[in-house]
Amino acid sequence: MSLTANKIDFIIVAHNELPYLKLMLWSLKEHNQDEWNLFEIKVFANNCNDGTKQWCDKHSIWCEDVNLPGVYTTWNYATSITSNPLIICASCDYVFAPDFWKNILKEQQKNPDIYHFTGTCLDNGVMYPHEDNVSVFAWPSPKKMLPTERRWFKRSCGDNWKEFSYKKFLQAIKEIGTEQSIRIYESSFSPFLTTRENYNSIGGFDPLWEYPKPGDLHFLNKMKSMNRKFCIVDAAFWYHFGGKALARRDDIKYNWKKIDEI
């Protein structure tokens, strides 16, 4: 699929995470510049009362207020109202390393038989206490032990947006390094790049399952049952604020009008 002929729908779900959204978009624009113009950023502010919609409007970022049960339902809704052949689904508490999406898209072009791409995750271990390269086995059958998480490293580069250090993040990436180009049938889940055809063919996410597990595993298993491959791209690094994505932050301690000063 030619990347010059198509934009990519970059779908972001947010819930009272404006400082994280700002940090994520900064990492996209500053450190993934070549891909920035390919993206059609679509922010879905789900039950936000922190000024996410107002801030996005101020900065001419497409944003829609929604009132939906959760991340999966919001991603499903978002894919139903967008149209580009390639889609990216993400939450907004991620920070991307330089060339994250260049590395993903390079492998996507080289491997047309793979339908789902994500990268190497670093987090602080708060949400999912783990050792490096934790392995999680696929639901629902323990007899079919499909490893779906590798390249996942516990590194504290900041427990929240105020404490985050991009310098520490880059140093951790340097220390971890890259071992191979891609790892078939391994995934660190969202953020991910896939085709709209793939997303629709497997029926999107089942909103009955909890986020992120076993719902993400169920999504990948549906792909596997259709003989569709997914993978991790070793050289694509991103940081996740563990413990932030699922927490409802209704006690807002910042003014969205001044968020650019933070």
- Per-residue pLDDT averaged across 58-83, rounded? 94
Q: Please give the pLDDT value at position 127.
A: 72
Q: Please give the pLDDT value at position 136.
A: 64
Q: Is the pLDDT of residue 251 over 80?
A: no
CA-based nearest residue to 161, from 18, 20, 3: 20
- Per-residue pLDDT averaged across 14-40, rounded? 94
Q: Bridge-partner residues for 137, per DSSP?
A: 147
Q: Is the peptide bond prior to 147 cis by the omega test (within 30 degrees of 0)?
A: no
Q: Is the pTM of this model over 0.75?
A: yes
Mean pLDDT taken over the chain? 87
Q: Which of 72-86, 111-125, 238-252 has the lowest mean pLDDT?
A: 238-252
Domains of the chain, start order? 8-251 (3.90.550.10)
- Per-residue pLDDT averaged across 147-168, rounded? 87
- Per-residue pLDDT averaged across 216-221, rounded? 87
- Per-residue pLDDT averaged across 198-222, rounded? 85
Q: Please give the pLDDT value at position 43.
A: 97
Instruction: Answer yes or no: are the C-beta atoms of 13 and 88 closer than 8 Å.
Output: no
Q: Please give the pLDDT value at position 223.
A: 92
Tell me the pairing of strands 114-123 and 229-240: parallel
- pLDDT category at 159 given cuts 50, 70, 90 is confident
69 or 194: which leads in pLDDT: 194
pLDDT in tens, 125-150: 877 777 888 766 555 554 454 556 67
- Per-residue pLDDT averaged across 245-262, rounded? 66
Half-sphere exposure (Cβ direction) of 104: Cα atoms closer than 13 Å: 31
- Per-residue pLDDT averaged across 72-91, rounded? 95
Q: Please give the pLDDT value at position 248.
A: 46
pLDDT in tens, 95-106: 999 999 999 999
Q: Bridge-partner residues for 8, per DSSP?
A: 39, 86
Q: Which of 2-6, 54-58, 78-82, 184-188 has the lowest mean pLDDT?
A: 2-6
Cα torsion for 102, 107, 109, 114, to the nearest 10°?
-130
Q: Please give the pLDDT value at position 137.
A: 58
Q: Is the pLDDT of residue 22 over 60?
A: yes
Angle value at C-alpha 185, between 32 and 36, nearest 5 degrees: 15
Q: Please give the pLDDT value at position 146.
A: 56
